[in-house]
Copies of this chain bind each other. A is one copy, B any other.
Amino acid sequence: MDYIQISNYLKAMAHPTRLKIIIRLSRGPQCVNDITGLITGRQANVSQHLSLLRLHGIVDCRQNGNMKCYFLKNPKLIKKILTVFQ
């Protein structure tokens, strides 16, 4: 990963709503509706952030009946970054 890719990855993480989502997902998978509950914002906006996170390879999801379950694609990497800030 070169510095351009790293900066893209960090930029995707570096939004308060997205980071909040990431922190939540670092404790386990969640569906969109539950994630929306954490955020002061609309479901559509949460979906926008989730699709950006997916585009950058930070999260992925699987259909689960009616719902979609999001999870971190590389939880180890994310957890390492988060623990640096504690």
Q: What residues make up the interface of A, taking CB atoms closer than 8 Å to B? A: 1, 3-4, 6-11, 13-16, 18-20, 23, 77, 80-82, 84-86
Taking CB as reference atom, which chain B residue is nearest A86?
B1
Q: Which of B10, B16, B77 makes the CB contact (< 8 A) with A3?
A: B16
Known: A77-B84, A80-B84, A84-B77. A14 touches B10 (CB 8 A): yes
Count the copies.
2
How far, in whole Å, are A8 and B15 apart by their CA atoms in the complex? Answer: 8
Are B9 and A11 in contact, with the CB atoms below 8 A? no
Taking CB as reference atom, which chain B residue is nearest A76?
B84
* 12 CB-based A-B contacts, threshold 8 Å: A1-B85, A3-B19, A3-B20, A3-B23, A6-B85, A7-B14, A10-B19, A11-B11, A77-B84, A77-B85, A81-B81, A84-B84
Q: Which of B4, B77, B86 makes the CB contact (< 8 A) with A16?
A: B4
